[in-house]
Amino acid sequence: MLETRIHQVQYLASLLDEYGIPYQRPVGGHALFIGADKVLCNVPKEEFPAQTLTCALLSEILTNIIE
């Protein structure tokens, strides 16, 4: 089971590489940390780019689930 999870995280990292999305390296076995401040460089730190990115991703996921 752990091996499967590690593979999932590595696969996600390869997809992010394809799209040029920055993330913290090396990739862990249970998580992957996206460089939100680099992805959303127009959002000032005072407006919390990581939380803004999380909300945008969740909104997109939930919209797709509902549709």
Check whether residue 30 and residue 2 sit in a common domain.
yes
Q: What is the pLDDT of residues 10-58, one digit of tens each?
A: 999 999 999 999 999 999 888 899 999 999 999 999 999 999 999 999 9
Domain hosting 19: range is: 1-34
CA distance 14 to 8: 10
Check whether residue 44 and residue 64 sit in a common domain.
yes
Residue 29 contacts residue 5 (beta carbons within 8 Å): yes
Check whether residue 66 and residue 43 sit in a common domain.
yes
Q: What is the pTM of this model?
A: 0.76
pLDDT of residue 2: 87
Check whether residue 30 and residue 40 sit in a common domain.
no
Structural domains of the chain, count: 2
Check whether residue 25 and residue 47 sit in a common domain.
no
What band does 9 get if pLDDT is binned at 50, 70 and 90? very high
Check whether residue 29 and residue 2 sit in a common domain.
yes
Residue 50 contacts residue 37 (beta carbons within 8 Å): yes
